[in-house]
C-alpha cells in the first residue's frame, strides 16, 4: 500500500554548516561542522534492455457488431494484437444449436475445408465452443509461431449449447511454447458443418523493459564508510557501505541515502524500483520512498525489516507511475531510509547497499 510521508523541500542537495546542537542522553554537545552533512557523488547513466510482455484479451461471438455478415476473411483486434480468420464464414442459419450466444457463428462448411486462426503476436490462451452440427467429424490443430505442429484435439460436440463442445488451450499445455496458429478441419463427407462460437484468446505483446542505474547518490544522514556509486549498479557483492550518523531532529532516521536516476520516457506504463541490501544488526527498519513530482512529496512504497544477509525488495508501480518521473527531464528520485525500532547490537550500525535500480516499461 502506498502512503504519503513527507516533503523534501531541499531539492537535490542539502548541507548544513556552522554550529549544531545535538542532545545525547542528558548531555548537550556542541559540534563545529567543517564539512557538508550531505555527500553527493555523480556518475553517468547506464541503460540495459530486456524483453517482457503485456497481455491483450480478444473475444468475439461473430455477431455483426464484430464481424460483417458472410465475411470469409476478417481480423479481430488491432495489429499487432490481432488474430485473422480465414477459410470459414461468419454466418447465421437460424439454427440455435449452431451458436453459443447470439445468432451468428464461424462455420467451416465443406469436406476438407480448413478454417485458419492466425495470430500476429503469439497467444498463451485460446478457447472456443465447437461442434459438428450433422454428426460428422472434425479436428483442431495447434501450431507454434514457426508453424510447427504442437498438438491436436478432435471436435466431439454436436450442439454448441452443450458444455462438452468447449475447447481450450491454456498456458503450460505445450510447455513454454506459445500458440501462433489454430486450424479447424472439416473431415466429414459433404453436408457436415463445423461451427465455432464465443472465441476468446489472450495474446502477448513484447515490450522492452529498460533498467536504469542511478546517476548519483546523496547521503542525507549518515557517514560513507566505503564503496562508490558504481557499486549500486549490479548484484555483485560490491556494496555502498553507510553508517548511521547525526540527526537534526529527535526521531529523524540517522541513515538516509537518496539515489537519482533518469527514465527514458516521461510517462511509463510501469515503474519498478529494486533494492538489494542488508544491515549489520537487528532492530532496524528499511523504508523505500519514491518522490512524487506532482505533489512534491515522498511516498513510502515499501517498509520492511532487513536482515544480516542480502535480500531483494522490488516495488512495482502500475497505477499512475508517471507521478514518480519528472516531466521534461525524466528524473526519478528514491530515498532509502533506515531507522532503529528496537535493541541494536552495534553502534554506529550500518547498511550495505548492493544494488538500487529502476526498471521502466514504456
Question: pLDDT tens across 272-312, in order?
Answer: 999 999 999 999 999 999 999 999 999 999 999 999 999 99
Indicate if the pLDDT at residue 233 is higher than 80.
Answer: yes
52 vs 195, more confident: 195
Q: Give the pLDDT of residue 244.
A: 95
Mean pLDDT (whole number) for 333-359:
95
Position 36 confidence tier, pLDDT thresholds 50, 70, 90: very low
Q: Give the pLDDT of residue 191.
A: 75
Indicate if the pLDDT at residue 95 is higher than 80.
Answer: yes
CATH superfamily ID and name for 53-207: Galactose-binding domain-like (2.60.120.260)
Distance CA 151, CA 68 (A): 31
CATH class assigned to 3-46+213-361: mainly beta
Indicate if the pLDDT at residue 237 is higher than 60.
Answer: yes
Q: Give the pLDDT of residue 7.
A: 33
Mean pLDDT (whole number) for 265-274:
95
Q: Give the pLDDT of residue 97.
A: 87
Contact indicator for 279, 285 with CB cutoff of 8 Å: no
Question: Which range is least confidently modeled, 101-105, 171-175, 188-192?
Answer: 188-192
Distance CA 141, CA 149 (A): 7
Question: Which range is least confidently modeled, 43-47, 246-250, 319-323, 348-352?
Answer: 43-47
Distance CA 339, CA 331 (A): 26
218 vs 3, more confident: 218
Structural domain boundaries in the chain: 3-46+213-361, 53-207
Mean pLDDT (whole number) for 89-93:
95
Position 53 confidence tier, pLDDT thresholds 50, 70, 90: low
Contact indicator for 99, 162 with CB cutoff of 8 Å: no
24 vs 174, more confident: 174
Q: Give the pLDDT of residue 50.
A: 55
Give the mean pLDDT of the chain: 85
Cα–Cα distance list, 264 to 76, 210, 246 (Å): 32, 8, 36
**What sign results for the dihedral spanned by CA atoms 106, 112, 113, 114?**
positive
Q: Give the pLDDT of residue 52.
A: 60
Percent pLDDT > 70 in the chain is: 85
Percent pLDDT > 90 in the chain is: 70
Q: Give the pLDDT of residue 190.
A: 67
Q: Give the pLDDT of residue 224.
A: 97
pLDDT digits (tens, 9 = 90+) for 136-187: 899 999 999 999 999 999 998 888 888 889 999 998 899 889 999 999 999 9
**What sign results for the dihedral spanned by CA atoms 291, 292, 295, 298?**
negative
Q: Give 279-297 as a DSSP string.
A: ESSSSEEEEEEEEETTTTE
Answer whether 3-46+213-361 and 53-207 agree in fold.
yes
Q: Give the pLDDT of residue 16.
A: 27
Q: Give the pLDDT of residue 51.
A: 54
Indicate if the pLDDT at residue 41 is higher than 60.
Answer: no
Contact indicator for 115, 87 with CB cutoff of 8 Å: yes
Q: Give the pLDDT of residue 205.
A: 81
Q: Give the pLDDT of residue 28.
A: 27
Amino acid at each position: 500500500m502506498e502512503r504519503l510521508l513527507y516533503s523534501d523541500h531541499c531539492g537535490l542537495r542539502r548541507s548544513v554548516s556552522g554550529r549544531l546542537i545535538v542532545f545525547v542522553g542528558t548531555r548537550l554537545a556542541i559540534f563545529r561542522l567543517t564539512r557538508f552533512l550531505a555527500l553527493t557523488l555523480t556518475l553517468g547513466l547506464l541503460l540495459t534492455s530486456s524483453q517482457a510482455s503485456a497481455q491483450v484479451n480478444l473475444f468475439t461471438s461473430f455477431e455483426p457488431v464484430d464481424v460483417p455478415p458472410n465475411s470469409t476473411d476478417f481480423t479481430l483486434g488491432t495489429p499487432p494484437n490481432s488474430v485473422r480468420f480465414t477459410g470459414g464464414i461468419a454466418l447465421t442459419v437460424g439454427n440455435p444449436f449452431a451458436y453459443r450466444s447470439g445468432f451468428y457463428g464461424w462455420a467451416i462448411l465443406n469436406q476438407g475445408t480448413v478454417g485458419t486462426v492466425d495470430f500476429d503476436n503469439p497467444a498463451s490462451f485460446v478457447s472456443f465452443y465447437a461442434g459438428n452440427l450433422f454428426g460428422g467429424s472434425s479436428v483442431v490443430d495447434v501450431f507454434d509461431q514457426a508453424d510447427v505442429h504442437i498438438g491436436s484435439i478432435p471436435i466431439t460436440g454436436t450442439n454448441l449449447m452443450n458444455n462438452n463442445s468447449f475447447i481450450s488451450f491454456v498456458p503450460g499445455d505445450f510447455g513454454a511454447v506459445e500458440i501462433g496458429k489454430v486450424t479447424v478441419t472439416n473431415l466429414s463427407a459433404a453436408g457436415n458443418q463445423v461451427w465455432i462460437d464465443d472465441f476468446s484468446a489472450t495474446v502477448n505483446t513484447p515490450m522492452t523493459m529498460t533498467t536504469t542505474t542511478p546517476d548519483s547518490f546523496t547521503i542525507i544522514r549518515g557517514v560513507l564508510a566505503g564503496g562508490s556509486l558504481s557499486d549500486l549498479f549490479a548484484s555483485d557483492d560490491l556494496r555502498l557501505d553507510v553508517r548511521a550518523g547525526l540527526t537534526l531532529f529527535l526521531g529523524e532516521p540517522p541513515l538516509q541515502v537518496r539515489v537519482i536516476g533518469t527514465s527514458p520516457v516521461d510517462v511509463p506504463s510501469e515503474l519498478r524500483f529494486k533494492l538489494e541490501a542488508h544491515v549489520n544488526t537487528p532492530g532496524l527498519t528499511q523504508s523505500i520512498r519514491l518522490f512524487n513530482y506532482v505533489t512534491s512529496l515522498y511516498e513510502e512504497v515499501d517498509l520492511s525489516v532487513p536482515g544480516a544477509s542480502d535480500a531483494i525488495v522490488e516495488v512495482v508501480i502500475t497505477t499512475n507511475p508517471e507521478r514518480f518521473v519528472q516531466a521534461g527531464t525524466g528524473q526519478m528520485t528514491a530515498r532509502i531510509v533506515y531507522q532503529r525500532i528496537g535493541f541494536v547490537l552495534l553502534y554506529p550500525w550500518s547498511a550495505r547497499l548492493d544494488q538500487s535500480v529502476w526498471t521502466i516499461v514504456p
